[in-house]
Every structure is written in C-alpha cells, then in structure tokens.
C-alpha cells in the first residue's frame, strides 16, 4: 500500500497483542506517515510508538466507544480531503470487539477507500494454540455479563458444531466456566488463553469441569480468550422425523419413499419410523 498516494484512505491497522516484536514494517510506516491516527487509547498508542522507536508526525485523536460516533464526521472529512487516517485499538485488530465498525461502515457507504494492515488478533491466535478443530469456527465477542443472558447464550451453543471463540473478563471467568459446565456438561473440551504473546502467556486446555475448578481456585488475571469445542448434534426426536416425512409427502413424494429417505438420513429404523408415522396420522 502506498501511503504517499494522494487518494485519501481509511487504514485499519492491527497492533501487537503484547509483544512489540510482532509489529509489522507496514504498521511502523503507517504510524510514521499517517496524517491522522485515531487511537482507542492515545496513551497506549504513544507508548507503542515509543517501544517501536517510531516518530508519529500526524495528529493523534482519541477513538473509543464513547466518542466514536462524535469523531466520525471529522475523520471522514479527513479522508475526503485526501488524507490518510489510521485506526488502531489497544491491541489486535480494530473492529473485532473493538472500535472501528461505525467508521468502516460509513466510509464504505460513502465510497471512500478502506484498507487494512493485517496482523495480530487474539481470536485467531487463541484458536490455533487451543488444540481444538479450526476448520470451522465462530467468534462470539464477549460473553454476556448478566447470569440469565449468559445462560441463554450458553444454551444457544449446546448444539453449535463449530468451535467457538469468545472473550471474557478475568473477574467473571470462573462464573462463566461454572455456568458452561452446568449448561454444556463437564466433559466439553475447551481452552483458556491468558496474556497471549506476553511474558506470562498461559494456555490451559481440558474439559470444562477441570477449567472451571482451576479458575475458581486461582485469581486469574490478564486478557482472557476462551476457545470452546463444538457440540455433538442432538439426536432427532420422533416427532421431528414424522414432520419431515409429512413435509415430503406434502411435496408430492410417496409415503414409503419419504419414510425411507428420512430414516436413512437420520440413521434410524425405517420400519419403526414407518409405524410411528402411520400412528401419527391416525
């Protein structure tokens, strides 16, 4: 990316999770040459620049949740005027459970150039060190704070086949893991990743019950990312199988053929499903 180009642009720049050595040459160049840097925490941005021995020549403005909407018009005007605006958060990739979504959405809607300097992300870092399947996964942001909402969220993950990654506060980790044991069962595999890339990095892997016991006994500190194994699909009920048969029949399929197809897909006895479906139509 040519940061010297006249065309204004909005640049999302990933910053190190904790180890400054993870900063890319492109991030260093962006911090040195940007006209404006919109930072979640201006003090942390200055500290990062100092650790990288980078001199910031552009204007630095705060860009955290409470002021994001108010900053939006001015930052877009900078891009329209042909300037480069770089968005950074405290650590990792902007927008991913961090400020940035509003300005990206508005810039894209206005036809302005939006690009990204890829780099560190706690989501993918935790995923690949968890030891859990990574071919299909989803990210669920921060776990809900309130017990009732948290329980409903966990129940929605009961049949989720994909690996789930989410963030949690160290102060609520033990409570969340205990609720997960109650809702998802003690044997569901998971990993708790703490202080990734930092001096005290720690990855705890094991069944939920073991992790919940550990979190309850320790004063866990630092940035926490949890990776949860996907669940096993719940076996279909007889009623749902009969409904599937009836749907096929309503679509013009012969009753016996519909029973055979549904039974084969569900791995159940064709005769038992046939008898149940006949009884259900009486």
The pair of structure tokens assigned to 260 is 């055979």
What's the pLDDT score for residue 3?
41
Is residue 281 very low, low, confident or very high in pLDDT (cuts 50, 70, 90)?
low
Beta bridge partner(s), residue 88: 39
Grade residue 151 by pLDDT with cuts at 50, 70 and 90.
Answer: very high
pLDDT of residue 159: 87
- Look at residue 87 and tell me whether its pLDDT is greater than 90: yes
Q: For residue 85, which of 29, 15, 31 has the smallest C-alpha distance?
A: 31
CATH 3.40.1010.10 region(s) of the chain?
A: 9-120
Write the DSSP assignment of 200-251 as a string of letters. Answer: T-EEEEEEHHHHHHHHHHS---S-EEEEEPPPPPPPPPHHHHHHHHHHHHHT
CATH for 9-120 is: 3.40.1010.10
pLDDT at 4: 45
CA distances from 38 to 60, 70, 72, 93 (A): 6, 12, 10, 13
Alpha-carbon distances, residue 279 vs 169, 238, 264, 273 (angstroms): 53, 12, 20, 10
Go through the chain and tell me how many residues it has: 282
Q: Which of 120-129, 181-190, 239-248 has the lowest mean pLDDT?
A: 239-248
pLDDT confidence of residue 37? 98
pLDDT score for 28: 97
Q: For residue 279, is pLDDT > 80?
A: yes
Mean pLDDT of the chain: 93
Strand partners of residue 189: 207
* Residue 190, Ramachandran bin (φ over 0: left; ψ between -120 and 50: alpha; else beta): beta
Residue 269 CB neighbour total at 10 angstroms: 11
Per-residue model confidence as pLDDT tens digits over 29-39: 999 999 999 99
Domain with CATH 3.30.950.10 in the chain: 123-228
**Superfamily holding 123-228:** Tetrapyrrole methylase, C-terminal domain (3.30.950.10)
**pLDDT surpasses 50 at 1:** no
pLDDT at 124 over 80: yes
Q: Answer whether residue 2 shows pLDDT above 50.
A: no
DSSP-derived letter for residue 127 is H
CB 160 within 8 A of CB 231: yes
- What single DSSP character describes residue 15? B
Residue 125 CA: distances (Å) to CA of 102, 128, 165: 25, 6, 10
Contacts of 35 (CB under 8 A, 6+ apart): 58, 59, 78, 83, 84, 85
Average pLDDT over residues 156-166: 95
The whole-number pLDDT of residue 5 equals 46
pLDDT at res. 268:
87
């Amino acid at each position: 990316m040519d940061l010297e180009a006249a065309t204004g642009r909005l640049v999302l720049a990933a910053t190190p999770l904790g180890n400054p050595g993870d900063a890319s040459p492109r991030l260093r160049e962006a911090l040195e040459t940007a006209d404006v840097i919109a930072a979640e925490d201006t003090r942390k941005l200055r500290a990062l620049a100092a650790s990288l021995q980078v001199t910031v020549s552009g204007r630095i403005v705060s860009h955290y949740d409470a002021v994001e909407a108010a900053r939006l018009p001015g930052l877009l005007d900078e891009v329209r005027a042909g300037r480069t605006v770089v968005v950074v958060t405290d650590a990792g990739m902007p927008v991913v459970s961090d400020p940035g979504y509003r300005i990206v959405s508005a810039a894209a809607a206005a036809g302005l150039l939006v690009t990204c300097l890829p780099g560190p992300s706690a989501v993918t870092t935790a995923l690949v060190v968890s030891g859990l399947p990574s071919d299909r996964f989803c990210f669920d942001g921060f776990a809900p704070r309130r017990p009732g909402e948290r329980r409903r969220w966990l129940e929605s993950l009961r049949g989720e086949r994909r690996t789930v990654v989410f963030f949690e506060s160290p102060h609520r980790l033990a409570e969340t893991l205990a609720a997960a044991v109650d809702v998802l069962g003690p044997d569901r595999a998971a990993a708790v990743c703490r202080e990734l890339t930092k001096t005290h990095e720690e990855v705890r892997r094991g069944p939920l019950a073991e992790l919940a016991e550990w979190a309850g006994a320790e004063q866990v500190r630092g940035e926490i990312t949890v990776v949860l194994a996907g669940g096993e699909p719940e076996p279909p009920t007889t009623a749902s199988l009969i409904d599937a048969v009836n749907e096929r029949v309503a679509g013009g399929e012969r009753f016996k053929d519909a029973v055979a197809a549904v039974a084969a897909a569900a791995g159940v006895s064709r005769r038992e499903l046939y008898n149940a479906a006949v009884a259900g139509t009486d």
